[in-house]
Amino acid sequence: MPISVAEPAASAAVVERTEGGQDSRLFVKVGRCAEHVLSIVITVNLLSIMLLTVCDVVGRYFLSRPIPGALEVTELLLGALIFSALPLVTLRNEHIVIDLLDKVIPSWLVTVQSVVVAVFTSVCCAYLAYRLWVLADRLQGAGETTATLGIPIAPLAFAISVFVGLTAVTALLTMVVPPPEREGGEGHV
């Protein structure tokens, strides 16, 4: 899944489909801003993981001094990376898709399928966001931290809950403004 701050492909597609009124232009501006912010968060997160890993490997194998707690920090950053990318993947319609029957079933049925999938995805993500929030609250109350560095786990759990909630909203928005059409290729079966 290539992520690029410089290429707002989904936003351009949204602009083309929603041209017309002031409301749709505001929606597009908010969407572009959210997409840009998420792209920056994902990019910084990925760069942090890469930098930490390189420094840890150099320290471990060339200086015999690994970075203490590097594995813990990498695990936390990886969790944040995966869930912060989820709303963007949903917005850009970059989930893995198996469309074996799309060519043989009527287009109206494909539309119904898309709506059902969007609603199901949104409901599941909303429930997961709620449960993650409850878990994060429990982690915060118990003062749970990582084993080596003592980093509190609750803020990450709250952040993941918010990202999953954004994914729920994004899935619903794909019913109003459908994601860009896929033309096959990578991740498209």
Q: What is the pLDDT of residues 81-117, one digit of tens each?
A: 999 999 999 888 888 877 787 788 888 888 888 889 8
Confidence at 31, pLDDT banded by 50, 70, 90: confident
Q: What is the pTM of this model?
A: 0.77
Query: Could you report the per-residue pLDDT of 165-185, keeping only the tens digit for each?
Result: 999 999 988 877 655 555 555
Could you say which DSSP state residue 185 is in?
A: -
Query: Could you report the per-residue pLDDT of 49-63, keeping only the tens digit for each?
Result: 999 999 999 999 999
Round to whole Å and give the CA distance between 15 and 108: 24
Q: In the prediction, which pLDDT does 22 show? A: 59
Round to whole Å and give the CA distance between 132 and 158: 7
DSSP 132-182: HHHHHHHHHHHT-B-TTT--BSHHHHHHHHHHHHHHHHHHHHHHHSPPPPP
